[in-house]
C-alpha cells in the first residue's frame, strides 16, 4: 500500500493534469494522478487542439471565454511553449436557418464580451482567399480563437506538476474504487492500493465505469470521432474553419491540413478504428469548402472518443458522494476548457467555492431540470 494522498486524480489527459496542477498551485499537499497508459493516449492526444469562445449557451460562452484568456497566458504560466496561435475560428453558414442561428449566437456572444462578428460571404473570402464562398450564405469570425498543440499543453502541465511535487503515475490503471468506511477512498490499481481523501474522475470517455464504482451514475455516451492529416503544404490559411454540420479543418504549424467531417449514423462505441466512410465524407466536404484541396495527399487518419452528455455540456464538481468529484462529459470540446476546468475544480476542492458558478454543470441538473443541448457542436 502506498502512502495516503489528499487527492487522487484518475486520468492524465489535459483535464486531469490541469486539475492536479491547479490543486498544487493552491497548496494542496499530496496529489497523485493515475494514468493507465502514456500521456496523450486518450482523447487529448487525438484532438484538434481547437480553442474557441464562440458557443450558443451563456454558461459555456463564459467558461470558454475565460479558458481562452487562460490559454493566452498558459505558455508563460507553465514555462513551456504550448504553441497557442490565434488565427480565429470561422463558422460557415450554408442556409438561411444557420444564418439566423449564427446572428443570434453573435448577439449573445457580444453581450458576454466575446467580440465575434457576422461576415458576408465576400468578407469570409477576404479572410481565406481559397474558400469557396459561393457555397455559403455567411460566416462568423472571432479572431481570439485559435489552436494550441496538444502535446505541448500536456507536457507543459506534466512538467509543472512535477515541479510542484505532484506524482503522475503513468501505466497505472485504476481497477476499483471503494469507500474505506472512514470517510476516505481506496483506489485499487494494478500496481497496488492507495487511500485518498478525495477523488477526481477525469478519465474522459471512460469516466462512467469509474463513477459507477462509487454508485454514481453519469449519463455519458462514448462516440467515435475521426480525424485525418494531409501532407504538409505551404501555409495558406489561418483560421480553424468549421460548420454546424460537423466539418472542421485547420493548418498546423507544420503545414498539414488537419480535421474531418462527421459520419452520420455513428452509434455509441469505444472503438478507435478508422473508416473509409469518414475518408470519403471528409474528402467531399473539404473539396466543396476549399476546391484547392482536391489534389492533396492524405497521409494519416485516426480516431478518438467524444464523451457526450444529454445537453452536450460538461459534468463538473462534487457528486452526492462527499469527496468524490467529476470533470468529464466534455462532448467534444474539453481541450479548450481545460485551463478553467482545472482551476475551478481545484477551487471547489480547496476552498469550497469557485470563481465562476459551476452549478449549471452539476450532475444534479439531469435529475432536477429539463436540459437544453448546446447547439454549436462540431
Least distance in angstroms from the C-beta of 122 to ligand FAD: 27
Phi, psi of 72 (to 5 degrees): -60, -25
- 60 sits in which H/E element: helix 58-78
Distance between CA atoms of residues 30 and 7, nearest Å:
7
Least distance in angstroms from the C-beta of 137 to ligand FAD: 25
Among 5, 8, 10, 23, binds ligand FAD (CB under 6 A): 10
Asked whether 258 and 229 are in contact (CB, 8 A), the reply is yes
Residues 242-271 that bind ligand FAD (CB under 6 A): none
Q: Is 14 in the site for ligand FAD (CB under 6 A)?
A: yes
Asked whether 376 and 56 are in contact (CB, 8 A), the reply is yes
- Part in contact with ligand FAD (CB under 6 A); list of ranges 95-103, 113-121, 159-167, 332-340: 332-340
The contact mask relative to ligand FAD for 38-77 (x = CB under 6 A, - = no) is: ---xxxx-xxxxx---------------------------
For the packed helices 14-25 and 150-163, what is the interaxial angle rounded to 10 degrees? Answer: 30
Cell of 230: 494531409
Please, is 334 exposed, middle or buried when counting C-beta atoms within 10 Å of its C-beta (0-12, 13-18, 19+)?
buried
Q: Is 168 in the site for ligand FAD (CB under 6 A)?
A: no
The contact mask relative to ligand FAD for 206-245 (x = CB under 6 A, - = no) is: x---x--------------x-x------------------
Q: Is 202 in the site for ligand FAD (CB under 6 A)?
A: yes
Q: Is 87 in the site for ligand FAD (CB under 6 A)?
A: no
Residue number with CB closer to ligand FAD (128 or 227): 227
Least distance in angstroms from the C-beta of 327 to ligand FAD: 7
**What is the Cβ-side half-sphere exposure of residue 266, based on CA atoms within 13 angstroms?**
26
Distance between CA atoms of residues 363 and 314, nearest Å:
9
Among 6, 123, 167, 173, binds ligand FAD (CB under 6 A): 173
Distance between CA atoms of residues 316 and 331, nearest Å:
13
CA distances from 307 to 88, 113, 147, 349, 375 (A): 25, 28, 20, 23, 16
Among 53, 62, 83, 203, binds ligand FAD (CB under 6 A): 203
Q: Is 336 in the site for ligand FAD (CB under 6 A)?
A: yes
Q: Collect all residues with Cβ–Cβ distance below 8 Å to 56 and sequence separation of at least 6.
A: 101, 104, 105, 108, 374, 375, 376
Among 146, 204, 339, 360, binds ligand FAD (CB under 6 A): 204
Q: Is 36 in the site for ligand FAD (CB under 6 A)?
A: yes
The torsion angle over the Cα atoms of residues 321, 324, 329 and 333, rounded to 10 degrees, is: 150
| Chain residues in the site for ligand FAD (CB under 6 A) | 10-16, 34-37, 41-44, 46-50, 173-174, 202-204, 206, 210, 225, 227, 304-306, 330, 332-336
Amino acid at each position: 500500500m502506498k502512502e495516503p494522498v489528499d487527492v487522487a486524480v484518475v486520468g492524465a489527459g489535459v483535464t486531469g493534469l490541469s486539475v492536479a496542477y491547479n490543486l498544487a498551485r493552491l497548496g494542496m499537499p499530496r496529489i497523485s494522478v493515475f494514468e493507465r497508459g502514456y500521456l496523450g493516449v486518450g482523447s487529448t492526444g487525438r484532438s484538434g487542439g481547437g480553442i474557441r469562445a464562440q458557443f450558443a449557451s451563456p454558461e459555456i460562452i463564459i467558461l470558454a471565454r475565460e479558458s481562452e484568456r487562460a490559454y493566452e497566458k498558459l505558455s508563460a504560466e507553465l514555462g513551456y511553449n504550448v504553441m497557442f496561435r490565434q488565427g480565429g475560428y470561422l463558422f460557415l453558414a450554408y442556409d438561411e436557418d444557420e444564418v439566423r442561428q449564427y446572428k443570434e449566437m453573435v448577439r449573445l456572444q457580444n453581450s458576454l464580451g466575446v467580440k465575434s462578428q457576422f461576415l458576408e460571404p465576400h468578407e469570409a473570402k477576404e479572410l481565406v482567399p481559397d474558400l469557396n464562398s459561393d457555397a455559403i450564405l455567411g460566416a462568423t469570425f472571432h479572431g481570439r480563437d485559435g489552436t494550441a498543440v496538444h502535446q505541448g499543453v500536456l507536457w507543459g502541465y506534466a512538467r509543472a506538476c512535477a515541479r510542484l511535487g505532484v506524482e503522475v503515475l503513468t501505466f497505472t490503471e485504476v481497477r476499483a474504487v471503494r469507500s474505506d468506511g472512514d470517510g476516505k477512498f481506496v483506489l485499487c490499481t494494478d500496481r497496488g492500493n492507495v487511500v485518498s481523501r478525495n477523488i477526481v474522475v477525469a478519465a474522459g470517455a471512460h469516466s462512467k465505469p469509474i463513477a459507477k464504482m462509487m454508485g454514481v451514475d453519469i449519463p455519458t455516451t462514448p462516440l467515435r470521432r475521426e480525424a485525418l492529416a494531409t501532407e504538409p503544404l505551404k501555409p495558406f490559411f489561418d483560421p480553424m474553419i468549421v460548420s454546424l454540420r460537423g466539418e472542421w479543418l485547420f493548418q498546423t504549424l507544420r503545414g498539414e491540413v488537419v480535421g474531418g467531417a462527421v459520419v452520420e449514423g455513428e452509434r455509441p462505441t469505444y472503438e478507435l478504428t478508422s473508416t473509409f466512410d469518414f475518408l470519403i465524407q471528409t474528402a467531399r466536404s473539404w473539396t466543396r469548402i476549399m476546391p484547392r484541396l482536391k489534389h492533396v495527399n492524405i497521409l494519416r487518419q485516426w480516431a478518438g472518443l467524444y464523451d457526450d452528455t444529454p445537453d452536450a455540456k460538461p459534468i463538473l464538481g462534487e457528486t452526492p458522494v462527499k469527496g468524490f468529484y467529476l470533470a468529464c462529459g466534455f462532448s467534444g470540446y474539453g481541450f479548450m476548457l481545460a485551463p478553467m476546468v482545472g482551476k475551478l475544480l481545484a477551487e471547489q476542492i480547496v476552498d469550497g467555492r469557485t470563481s465562476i458558478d459551476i452549478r449549471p454543470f452539476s450532475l444534479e441538473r439531469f435529475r432536477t431540470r429539463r436540459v437544453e443541448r448546446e447547439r454549436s457542436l462540431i
